[in-house]
């Protein structure tokens, strides 16, 4: 076990800097107790962190006392905390397991930041990998779900992934180590425990070499996955552009490919869209104006692209007084200045509105455009609906929804970033020019 541990650390390059302690997540169970013993035997500096989730009453308090004593026996720093896990789970509408995981890693991250360390080690082993793969298969997490648990993910390392649970227990018994048993591990109400205690023993009856078979398959799937991810990355580079917080995807070039559903799912999965949504999307992909929603993002089907944008709070009406000099709008600023017309030179840009100051009635109002809004576009004699202007300009739907207008009394003087109203333009009779510039701060 010890030789395999050192070999695994070196092969996976899990620890390359021995100057800083590794923070070991220690529950008091046999896996984390063995992890501590191996670190000590390898003369690797470490500290111990322990979480009490208030889920097992006196048994959990006993585990906390045990881990504290374990840290003292190794003469290493010990950090512990207590959580109200059930309340956290209820407030965030997540499972107890998800709540515990979130709270645990928040605690670990705080410790790393406070002490300047760069690694958290957990005691996951190969049996945990098998359980994870089976759970992912049942839940349908996509190809990455079959990779299992990785030896390193950001600051988290798993130095025991090479070992089976039985090997860990055998080592602990050989070394005469003591540990705490967690009675909740026998509760099959939890999905992972059900897989561990009921499903995997049945699968072993079908294939006694299940562990080694799954290990071989996982390696193959990971390598296939690497090829797949490389191809998805190349496709993403080819069809993606980013502008003003919007991800443009020129999907029409790939939607008829036989692999379109899987690749599209991989492209959109980071935004929280589900595989079911992607299948539905591909059946309506040429229906411009349609949209789908994830928790935090909206995807719009536009003429030539899909556009993905993070959901934001709608822009609220703002009052522009005569003395207002700037306000925020769309991650930019609007600046307001007055100039004498004799000294003013008109700017040929839609980002600036030059208006006749004497024709304006303050305060001006800035708000999102509304259905039915109309104005008299510069250079035209008749009026035009804002909706028709934006269609003529081929403004994508998500940008169209963010367009605001500025009004004097009830008359639109500027469709911001697009066109001013003919009635408020600067001419030879203008004495003072009221300039509004939309620019980055």
| Chain segment 306-318, per-residue pLDDT in tens | 999 998 887 889 9
Q: Is the pLDDT of residue 296 over 90?
A: yes
pLDDT score at 429: 94
| CA–CA gap between residue 118 and residue 152 (Å, rounded) | 12
Q: Is the pLDDT of residue 97 over 90?
A: no
Task: Considering only the C-alpha atoms of the chain, give the largest distance between any 2 of them, rounded to a whole number of Å.
Answer: 98
pLDDT score at 286: 63
Average pLDDT, the chain: 90
Is the Cβ–Cβ distance between 112 and 155 less than 8 Å?
yes
Domain with CATH 3.40.50.620 in the chain: 2-206
The pLDDT of 146-169, averaged and rounded, is 92
Residue 126 — very low, low, confident or very high, per pLDDT cuts 50/70/90? very high
The pLDDT of 270-298, averaged and rounded, is 86
pLDDT score at 219: 87
Residue 305 — very low, low, confident or very high, per pLDDT cuts 50/70/90? confident
Is the Cβ–Cβ distance between 344 and 426 less than 8 Å?
yes
Sheet holding 246-249, edge to edge: 240-243, 246-249, 306-310, 297-301, 291-293
Burial (CB < 10 A; 0-12, 13-18, 19+), residue 277, is: middle
pLDDT score at 37: 97
pLDDT in tens, 222-242: 899 899 999 999 999 999 999
pLDDT score at 304: 79
pLDDT score at 185: 67
Residues 6+ apart with CB under 8 A from 226: none
pLDDT score at 43: 94
Percent of the chain scoring above 70 in pLDDT: 97
| CA–CA gap between residue 228 and residue 147 (Å, rounded) | 13
φ, ψ dihedrals at 372, nearest 5°: 95, -15
| CA–CA gap between residue 435 and residue 127 (Å, rounded) | 68
pLDDT score at 188: 65
Is the Cβ–Cβ distance between 34 and 87 less than 8 Å?
no
| CA–CA gap between residue 26 and residue 35 (Å, rounded) | 8
pLDDT score at 390: 93
The residue whose two tokens read 């609007």 is 334
The pLDDT of 374-386, averaged and rounded, is 93
The pLDDT of 338-363, averaged and rounded, is 93
Domain with CATH 1.20.59 in the chain: 218-309
What CATH number does the domain located at 318-439 have?
3.50.40.10
pLDDT in tens, 395-408: 888 888 889 999 99
Q: Is the pLDDT of residue 104 over 90?
A: yes
| CA–CA gap between residue 17 and residue 347 (Å, rounded) | 59
pLDDT score at 165: 93
Percent of the chain scoring above 90 in pLDDT: 64
φ, ψ dihedrals at 380, nearest 5°: -115, 150
| CA–CA gap between residue 172 and residue 94 (Å, rounded) | 35
Domain with CATH 3.50.40.10 in the chain: 318-439
pLDDT in tens, 179-212: 998 776 666 667 888 888 889 999 999 999 998 8
CB pairs under 8 A, 24+ apart, for 216-220?
217/146, 218/129, 218/133, 218/146, 218/147, 218/148
The pLDDT of 250-266, averaged and rounded, is 89
| CA–CA gap between residue 108 and residue 184 (Å, rounded) | 23
CB atoms within 10 A of CB 390: 19
Sheet holding 352-356, edge to edge: 326-329, 332-340, 432-439, 352-356
The pLDDT of 148-164, averaged and rounded, is 93
Q: Is the pLDDT of residue 18 over 90?
A: no
pLDDT score at 270: 92
| CA–CA gap between residue 22 and residue 47 (Å, rounded) | 6
CATH topology of domain 2-206: Rossmann fold (3.40.50)
Pick the CATH number of 218-309 from 1.10.10, 1.10.357, 2.60.40, 1.20.59: 1.20.59
**Residue bearing the bigger pLDDT, 304 or 28:** 28
pLDDT score at 186: 64
Residue 437 — very low, low, confident or very high, per pLDDT cuts 50/70/90? very high
| CA–CA gap between residue 170 and residue 63 (Å, rounded) | 21
Nearest one of 192, 204, 164, 211 to 31, comparing CA atoms: 164
Residue 320 parent element (H or E)? strand 318-320
| CA–CA gap between residue 95 and residue 89 (Å, rounded) | 6
Question: For residue 204, what are its two tokens?
Answer: 């072993």
Helices within 118-207 (DSSP H only): 126-139, 165-174, 191-194, 200-206
């Amino acid at each position: 076990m010890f030789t395999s541990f050192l070999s695994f650390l070196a092969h996976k390059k899990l620890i390359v800097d021995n100057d800083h302690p590794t923070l070991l997540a220690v529950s008091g169970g046999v896996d984390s107790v063995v992890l501590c013993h191996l670190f000590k035997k390898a003369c690797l500096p470490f500290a111990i962190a322990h979480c009490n989730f208030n889920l097992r009453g006196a048994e959990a308090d006993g585990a906390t006392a045990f881990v504290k004593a374990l840290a003292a026996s190794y003469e290493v720093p010990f950090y512990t905390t207590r959580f109200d896990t059930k309340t956290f789970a209820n407030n965030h509408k997540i499972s107890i397991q998800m709540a515990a995981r979130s709270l645990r890693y928040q605690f670990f991250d705080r410790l790393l930041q406070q002490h300047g360390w760069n690694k958290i080690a957990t005691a996951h082993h190969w049996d945990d990998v098998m359980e994870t793969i089976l759970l992912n298969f049942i839940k349908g997490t996509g190809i990455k779900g079959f990779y299992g648990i990785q030896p390193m993910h950001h600051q988290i390392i798993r130095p025991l992934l090479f070992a089976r649970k039985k090997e860990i227990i055998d080592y602990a018994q050989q070394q005469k180590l003591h540990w705490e048993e967690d009675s909740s591990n026998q509760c099959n109400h939890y999905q992972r425990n059900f897989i561990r205690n009921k499903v995997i023993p049945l699968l072993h009856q079908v294939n006694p070499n299940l562990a080694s078979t799954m290990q071989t398959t996982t390696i193959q799937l990971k390598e296939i996955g690497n090829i797949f991810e490389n191809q998805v990355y190349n496709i993403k580079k080819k069809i993606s552009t980013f502008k003003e917080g919007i991800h443009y995807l020129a999907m029409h070039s790939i939607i008829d490919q036989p692999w379109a559903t899987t690749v599209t799912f991989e492209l959109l999965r980071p935004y929280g869209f589900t595989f079911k949504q992607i299948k539905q999307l591909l059946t309506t992909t040429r229906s411009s104006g349609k949209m789908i929603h994830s928790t935090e993002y909206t995807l719009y089907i536009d003429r030539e692209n899909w556009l993905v944008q993070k959901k934001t709070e709608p822009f609220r009406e703002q009052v522009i007084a005569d003395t207002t000099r700037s306000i925020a709008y769309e991650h930019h600023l609007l600046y307001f200045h007055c100039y004498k017309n004799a000294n003013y030179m008109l700017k040929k840009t839609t980002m600036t509105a030059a208006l006749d100051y004497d024709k304006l009635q303050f305060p001006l109002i800035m708000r999102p455009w509304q259905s039915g809004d109309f104005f008299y576009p510069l250079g035209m004699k008749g009026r035009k609906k804002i909706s028709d202007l934006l269609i003529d300009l081929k403004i994508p739907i998500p940008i169209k929804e963010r367009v605001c207008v500025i009004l004097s009394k009830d008359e639109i003087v500027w469709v911001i970033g697009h066109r001013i109203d003919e009635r408020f333009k600067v001419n030879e009779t203008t004495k003072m020019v009221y300039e509004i510039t939309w620019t980055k701060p």
